[in-house]
Amino acid sequence: MSDTPKTTVLSLTEEEFVHPGNRACSGCSMGLLYRIGAKALGRDCIFVVPPSCMTVMQGLYPVSASQFPIFNCTFASTAAVATGVRAAMKRLGRTTQVVAWAGDGGTSDIGIQALSGALERGEDIIYICYDNEAYMNTGVQRSGTTPCSSLTTTTPFTGKAQAAKDVPAIVAAHNPTFVATCSASYPLDFHDKLLRAKQMRGLKYFHIQTPCPPGWGCEERLTIKIGRMAVESGLFVLYEIENGVKRLSEPSARLLKKGRRPVRDYLKLQVRFRHMSDEQIAALQAQVDARWDDYREAFADD
């Protein structure tokens, strides 16, 4: 939706806003996501963060991994606090970007009421949900976005029985300015979507799949590969909705013309899915195939 040149590793700014070294788990993809996202947001930002892996990564006072001011709020209040901070900046005559950065639990479950209110009011903030598909920093408990059949410490031995909430679709139903799905394995796609979102007024929502080695039961060295496989298999779709118009992002749009990876390739690298039977995997593959049949029809002219 933009003719702006795409950022590459060669054109990405060398200025850093995140200190080297932090308390994130080894192999955590959020550290990369935060570092690259900060480069797009620039220095004039205030972050609003609820209890989450992000809070852990930042460290305890007086230690901080970030060069931004950060407001740590309660689990349920992220969007409401961001609204207040935005109002304060307006009162002071400042254009400081207010960024709410919450996990999937703080967004899809505990924080969804405040988010819905901010969406309905059209608050001028950026809301970023990093979705590692469970409550990871408190012991891998299931969340609303935990996928069906995934094992967590609070699911039966057969895995979660319910489907994951489609939070971007819930957000899109509020008709905000901008909705984007991203993957930590495609950080420059996230970077460039943030650059565009900064120029828009109203609430801009980002939903980012963020692979988590300890919670997903995968090797730390495979974090980025697994995130890419989620996209390449068509399980996690990258798209954006600007003023009600939806378009697939390039990594997913390419799948319209070429084959997708089998979902089995993605599942077999994660302990949380190893109990799935061949029949369950086949059923999941059929769901994904049907979804992409719809996409081919919807985006045939793109």
CATH number at residue 270: 3.40.50.970
- Please check whether residue 14 lies inside any domain of the structure: no
State phi, psi for 180 to the nearest 5 degrees. -140, 140
- Residue 215 inside a domain? The answer is yes
Q: Is residue 17 part of a domain?
A: no
* Residue 22 belongs to a domain: no
Query: Which helix H or strand E contains 98, and what residues bound it?
Result: strand 97-103
Closest CA to 124 of 178, 163, 169: 178
For 132, the domain range is 29-299
Query: How confident is the prediction for the chain on average, in pLDDT?
Result: 95
Where does the pLDDT of residue 27 fall: very low under 50, low under 70, confident under 90, or very high at 90 and above?
very high
190 in any annotated domain: yes
The answer to whether position 40 is within a domain reads yes
DSSP character for 147? P
Count the domains in the chain. Answer: 1
**pLDDT for 41-99, tens place per residue?**
999 999 999 999 999 998 888 888 999 999 999 999 999 999 999 999 999 999 999 99
Task: Record the pTM.
Answer: 0.96
DSSP 3-state assignment of 133?
Answer: coil
Domain-located, residue 1: no
